[in-house]
Amino acid sequence: MLIDILLEGQQALVVGGGKVGERKTLQLLDAGAKITVVSKEFTEELVDLSRGGNVNLERAEVSEGYIVGLKFQPKVVIVALDDRPLNKKIAEEARSIGALVSVVDDPSISDFAMPAVAKVGDIRIGVSTRGSSPAMAGVIRRRVEKMITKKDLLQVELQKYARSLAKKYISSHEERRKVLSSIIENGEVGSFLEDGKMDEARNLAKNIIIQGKRSRK
């Protein structure tokens, strides 16, 4: 089961400044987390992110007891070291302070896994092989990204507008769901989006929402 953890503005700790730690850091950045990376050494990308103020780097030798001595409370801890016994100890410590833990390449001691994520515009699609093949997850991710069209991206933008508007006009959650689904399935709306006519699509969506309100009175 894939769960999208909401990390906007939340503290996150990445233990390990190599390529794997870098990749996990970029995923956390995309989620809007406030990130600290601790390691003896860091990739150039992580250093660049630090210079830009996006990531806090802490140069330190991570050992047993490091996590419980933190001066902040991370919501999630990603462990990406090449020392399996130490990874386990860090995971246990992180869990003891209430953090969710992901140990890279060791799902047996993790609370969650970070799937390969297809990213196009505001669309995010997680691809997981449950640890069986991270490489294949990456292949499928790239395939999925190619499937997402400009129309799909515009539909997401339109739905954000329509959802906000529907909350003002339609009190029932179930009725809002039906109206929003009808906008997605509406052929005329789809034609407007294919032609890049967002204003026309918004106007039609608004009419559908208002008509939906009137029909339920």
| Shared-domain flag, residues 166 and 91 | no
| Shared-domain flag, residues 45 and 84 | yes
5 belongs to a structural domain: no
| Shared-domain flag, residues 129 and 107 | no
Q: From its phi and psi, is residue 130 left (phi > 0), alpha (psi between -120 and 50) or beta? A: left
6 belongs to a structural domain: no
| Shared-domain flag, residues 120 and 202 | no
Q: Residue 78's domain spans which residues?
A: 11-114
80 belongs to a structural domain: yes
| Shared-domain flag, residues 125 and 86 | no
List, in sequence order, every residue forming a beta bridge with 12; answer none if it has no partner. 35, 76
| Shared-domain flag, residues 109 and 125 | no
Look-up of token digits 């929402």: 209
32 belongs to a structural domain: yes
Residue 104 identity (one-letter amino acid): V
135 belongs to a structural domain: yes
Cα 106 to the chain's mean position, in Å? 21
| Shared-domain flag, residues 168 and 205 | yes
Give the domain-ending residue among 131, 147, 163.
Answer: 147
| Shared-domain flag, residues 32 and 102 | yes
| Shared-domain flag, residues 110 and 137 | no
The CATH number of the domain where 24 resides is what?
Answer: 3.40.50.720
4 belongs to a structural domain: no
CB–CB of 164/176 below 8 Å? no
| Shared-domain flag, residues 178 and 120 | no
Give the domain-ending residue among 69, 96, 114.
Answer: 114
| Shared-domain flag, residues 124 and 70 | no
60 belongs to a structural domain: yes
Provide the residue-wise pLDDT of the chain in tens; the chain has 217 residues: 667 788 999 999 999 999 999 999 999 998 899 999 999 999 999 999 999 898 999 999 999 899 988 989 999 999 999 899 999 999 999 999 999 999 988 888 999 888 788 888 888 888 888 777 878 988 999 999 999 999 999 999 999 999 999 999 888 899 999 999 999 999 999 999 999 999 999 999 999 998 865 555 5
98 belongs to a structural domain: yes
Number of domains in the chain: 3
Q: What is the pLDDT of residues 52-71, one digit of tens each?
A: 898 999 999 999 899 988 98
What burial letters (b/e) apply to 152-191, b meaning 16+ CB within 10 Å? eebbebbbeebbebbeebbeeeebbeebbeebeebeebbe
Q: What is the pLDDT of residues 141-150, one digit of tens each?
A: 999 999 999 9
| Shared-domain flag, residues 207 and 161 | yes
